[in-house]
Structure 1
Amino acid sequence: MKKLLAAALSGVLTAGIILGGTGLSTKAAETETETTGELTPIKVAASATPHAEILEQAKPILAEEGYDLQVTVFDDYIMPNEVVESGDMDANYFQHLPYLEQYNEEKGSHLVSVGGIHYEPFGIYPGTKSSLDDIADGDSVAVPNDTTNEARALLLLQDNGLIKLKDGAGLTATVTDIEENPYNLDIVELEAAQVARVVDETAYVVLNGNYALAAGFSVAKDALAYEKSDSEAAKTYVNIIAVKEGNEENPGVQALVDVLKSDEIRNYINETYDGAVIPYDDSDAEAESETETGSEAETETAAETETAAE
């Protein structure tokens, strides 16, 4: 039930960047641009909100750099990866790395990330009840049913004291990993795209950022609880640009990633989505990685010194 494909329609649509089904051969693209003066196409598969919206803002910037960004919107989690794996499209923008890795494992595909762009905080939103203080025995809570997103939803419920998961459940947690359920909550598992549609039928709903936006929710104003910007989930579930392995250095892909990380796009995201979409800062992750590496080196040095002393 938790198989990736069973949850395929839950929201993968949010992010397909499909760069040129022609493969965007560097020399061919340069020759075409030089001889015809036309822009080099970058075909992109994306979810409607916020991915396609963000890509629309990138279009004029890329045009100035000689690229014609062509965005195609998908509404499932399977096709955006299939078209990139097949070579019909050059990249997609709709998923986070845990989903991509699980997809590769289950489908035998060869997709890789070329850059993290943003993350969307998961939130608990009101259904028939407007406060977590009103929770009562037997209340229902709707959550996404795909593996990574359901685990994320359950972890958020746990962080807010509504359930307790078995030790080690982590990013693969399912309802079978609920160890304590003090309110006897009825966890309603639905495709991610369907969760927001049951706000009138369940006490609470736990939504991906993009589906919260599509449903008219504001993280800052409406969420009863949500993942914090410095949380492990925020770092883990960064939405990425994905390409087929071997296409990482495609100049069109590189230009796309650079533009999506630009101050212009970062400002657009911050000003538009009211905290539901947050630009990802690579420098934070790099700094953390360097700190960890430095600590490991210090530990090794200390161990060597101790050994020498012995």
Structure 2
Amino acid sequence: MHSILRRRGLLAATLAASLLGGIAGGAQAQDNKNTVKVGISVGNAEQIFEVVKKVAAKDGLTVQVVVFNDYQLPNAALAAGDLDANAFQHQPFLDNQIKARGFDLVPVGLTITAPLGFYSKKLKSIDQLPEGAAVGIQNDPSNGNRALLLLQQAGLITLKPEAVKNNTATPLDVVTNPKKLKLVPLDAAQLPRSLDDLAIAAINNDYAEKAGLSFNKDAVIKESPKGPYANLIAVRRADKDKPWAKRLVAAYQSPEVRSFIETQFKGALVPAF
């Protein structure tokens, strides 16, 4: 009887060890996986990631790209586990999304800076902006703040100092508006399509490129490329030290990608690494 119990005990222990080994092996395989799914936004990121994919492939890492046309979706997809990483946003945008939606996401590496511009179909120079003009800005907190700061930089409005300091400016923080501009908050993706109805509009670089607009040639107000809005690669916090995450960052921050960005975009995009 005791012998039977001992054999049963050994069998159970062996089975448990086998199961644990399988779980551990699966976790290790997940840590060292060689295929990653990355969310990006439409436009120039698609071109850049064609180079990233080639560089990553040399290291045995397959990068699968998922293209989004809405800034609100890539972080939700990453948090839900539908992506392994995303590369479309700067730190202020990520901070706002974490605060608003509770995502547990962290940056693991910088990519590019995409200077923001105001564009127009009606004006060749910002000096031509008429009184009472309709001015489009993004309706998300981070990019809306950024657009308002750029309007202040151009001398068109003045914002409350506290809002500027905290990067939280909204149209309610405008304290002087000499030209009586009408600020029109819209979804970032809608702004290029709304240029017929607006005097000028703040348009993020990826949407501007998709609309055939050139930052260097067409923007009537230009943000400095040395500002605080460097884009980044984000992952779930649990994945920040995984080998595949480091390999993805290394592929992006490679000399080949740097050379492509500098040659292809000629200052409209700037490597942030």
Is 1:80 the equivalent of 2:74? yes
Q: What is the total number of aligned residue pairs between the two structures?
A: 247
Mapping of residues 103-142 of structure 1, within 5 Å? 103-142=97-136
Partner of 1:238: 230
Q: Which residue of 2 aligns with 1:90?
A: 84
CA deviations 1:261-305 (Å, max 9, x no partner) are 111101111122232211103xxxxxxxxxxxxxxxxxxxxxxxx
Change (3 A) 1:264 1:279: same
Normalised by the size of structure 2, how large is the TM-score? 0.85
Q: Which residue pairs with 2:29 in the alignment?
A: 28
| Counterpart residue number, 1:8 | none
Q: Which amino acid aligns with 1:28?
A: A
Pair 1:247 & 2:255 matched: no
**Which residue identity is paired with 1:215?**
A
Say if 2:169 is the partner of 1:173: yes
Contact 2:32–2:242 (8 Å) recurs in 1 = no
Give 1:292-303 correspondences, 5 Å limit: none
Which residue pairs with 1:219 in the alignment? 215
Matched, 1:270 2:262: yes
Matched AA of 1:107: R
- 1:159 corresponding residue in structure 2: 153
Higher Cα Rg: structure 1 or 2? 2
Could you tell me which amino acid in structure 1 is paired with residue 265 of structure 2? Y
- Which residue of structure 2 aligns with residue 205 of structure 1? 201
In 1, Cα distance between equivalents of 2:158 and 2:54: 48
Structure 1 residue 25: Cα displacement = 6.2
Residue aligned with 1:246, SS: helix
Query: In structure 1, which of residues 39, 43, 52 is the aligned counterpart of residue 46 of structure 2?
Result: 52
Task: Give the equivalent residue in structure 2 for 1:12.
Answer: none
Give the secondary-structure state (helix, strand or coil) at the position aligned to 2:191: helix
Percent identity, aligned pairs only, is 38
Q: Which sections of structure 2, spanning at least 5 residues, go unmatched? A: 1-24
Choose which of 249, 252, 257 in structure 2 pairs with 1:260: 252
For residue 31 of structure 1, report the CA deviation from its aligned partner: 8.6
| Structure 1 length-normalised TM | 0.75
Q: Which of 1 and 2 has higher RCO (CA within 8 Å, sep 6+)? A: 2
Q: Distance between the aligned counterparts of 2:71 and 2:159, measured in 1? A: 27
- Partner Cα distance (1:181, 1:280) in 2: 34
Partner of 1:300: none
The answer to whether residue 183 in structure 2 is matched with residue 183 in structure 1 is: no
Partner residue in 2 for 1:196:
192
Unaligned runs of 5+ in 1: 1-23, 33-39, 282-310
SS at match of 1:82: helix
RMSD: 1.9
Aligned to 1:3: none
Aligned-partner Cα distance in 1 for 2:249–2:177:
43
Q: Which of structure 1's runs of 4+ aligned residues deviate more than 6 A?
A: none
